[in-house]
């Protein structure tokens, strides 16, 4: 069954704690993305990766870190430096195509809350 | 940098009413345009897209959108909505730029259909 798997579905973070959100895809897509979704603010790009071992900051990268050691995996760490981490986090992937034809496929999301 | 505006934050319609959701973007050059939909409890998924050619594009579930370059708009339409269209709708834009592909999303429009 092809798709994007995000885990866990719900996550709770204590003050000063780093937490890691998992994103795995078996679609053989080259690019992967992390978004943060807040009510009334739409989706904001945190980080993205076009190829293995390379990634770029998005619009709101502060307080987050990522790695891309394998094509199918793109974990996101929410560090203690992120002062307002409560949000819904979405992972996406897209195949290599012509420039701009960036159709993204999304996972089910992880809801992160602060205790 | 490009930006996307969705001025309708929450739209409430009765079944069988016609729908038009506004989307405007800020970039003056060539763009690719998308509408994504997030049904309650489901993954964000592609509704329709415009890359080139006929500016009137058709998507799934009877939705269509018209690209009007002079107005920087890509409004979403459906002639007769159903209760199952209740969802959040996101407009997104991509500027073709080899090796640096990302989508910019609008803030979303929540659509509620009253049976």
Q: Which of A50, A92, A101 sits opposite B99 (nearest CB)?
A: A50
Asked if B72 contacts B33 with a C-beta cutoff of 8 angstroms, the reply is no
Q: Up-side HSE of residue B84: CA atoms within 13 Å toward CB?
A: 5
State the nearest Cα–Cα gap between B23 and chain A, in angstroms. Answer: 13
Query: Considering only alpha carbons, which residue of chain B is nearest residue A31?
Result: B101
State the best of A99, A108, A111 to mutate against chain B, taking most chain B CBs within 10 Å: A99
Average pLDDT over all residues of chain A:
92
Give pLDDT tens digits for B52-78: 999 999 999 999 999 999 999 999 999
Question: What is each CA distance from A80 to A36, A65, A106, in whole angstroms?
Answer: 16, 11, 26
Give pLDDT tens digits for B81-101: 999 999 999 999 988 775 557
State the nearest Cα–Cα gap between A13 and chain B, in angstroms. Answer: 23
């Amino acid at each position: 069954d092809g798709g994007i798997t995000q885990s866990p579905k719900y996550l709770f973070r204590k003050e000063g704690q780093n937490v890691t959100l998992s994103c795995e895809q078996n679609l053989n897509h080259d690019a992967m993305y992390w978004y943060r979704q807040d009510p009334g603010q739409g989706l904001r790009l945190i980080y993205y990766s076009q190829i293995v071992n390379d990634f770029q900051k998005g619009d709101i990268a502060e307080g987050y870190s990522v790695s891309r050691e394998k094509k199918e995996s793109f974990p996101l760490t929410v560090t203690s430096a992120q002062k307002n981490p409560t949000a819904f986090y979405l992972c996406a992937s897209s195949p290599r195509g012509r420039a701009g034809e960036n159709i993204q496929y999304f996972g089910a999301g992880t809801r992160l809350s602060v205790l | 940098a490009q930006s996307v505006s969705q001025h309708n934050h929450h739209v409430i319609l009765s079944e069988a009413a016609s729908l038009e959701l506004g989307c405007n973007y800020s970039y003056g050059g060539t763009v690719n345009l998308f509408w994504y939909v997030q049904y309650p409890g489901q993954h964000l998924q592609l509704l329709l897209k415009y890359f080139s050619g006929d500016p009137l594009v058709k998507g799934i579930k009877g939705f269509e959108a018209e690209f009007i370059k002079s107005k920087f708009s890509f409004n979403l339409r459906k002639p007769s909505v159903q209760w199952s269209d209740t969802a959040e709708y996101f407009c997104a834009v991509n500027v073709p730029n080899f090796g640096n592909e990302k989508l910019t999303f609008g803030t979303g429009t929540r659509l509620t259909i009253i049976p």
